[in-house]
Structure 1
């Protein structure tokens, strides 16, 4: 990771370029709040990621490896992070199918650009 910073390519910039380059080939780009912390993952949503991930209940592999991002997250915390960006929260299952009817459908890119 340090070589990215030394060369002037931040992880967030790399995320943005990946999103542009991969486009619809990989539709969902998810930052890991476990590794980045909720603030870091929320910032990644500004740079092209579109999926904040799940709540988890007890994630210890990452913390055992030395990261300090977190081991569990509440739905309210995730919704709050999404709301801070003025974006709709959408609950999904593992296969990316919508769960419940609590959020509007995702807008197309052209709709977001003209909004």
Structure 2
């Protein structure tokens, strides 16, 4: 499966790429919202992992714009954030995120959530 990870922290991306790549997934990096939109226009994606605290266009706005692109309205997007208050979860759910992954994340929880969100 093809997963886009929108993350401005390169070491975080490299870790997730190594773990999910080992599971057989292709993990594509976008360091910001603009790059995420470019990647989504170039190729079909199965899942997006979205850091909410991106520089410039935040993860919420990036997700809104992603959903407006042709063929992405039903693309599952998981929010990744270090801000884990109940209000943060509620906002992510209200904004249409299909999943919520706390940072720093445990690899077993990340894998479980990715498997839950990927199309069967």
Indicate the structure (1 or 2) with the bigger Cα radius of gyration.
1
Q: Which has the higher contact order (CA 8 A, sep 6+)?
A: 2
In the superposition, the TM-score normalised over structure 1's length comes to: 0.38
> Greater share of strand residues, 1 or 2?
2
In the superposition, the TM-score normalised over structure 2's length comes to: 0.37
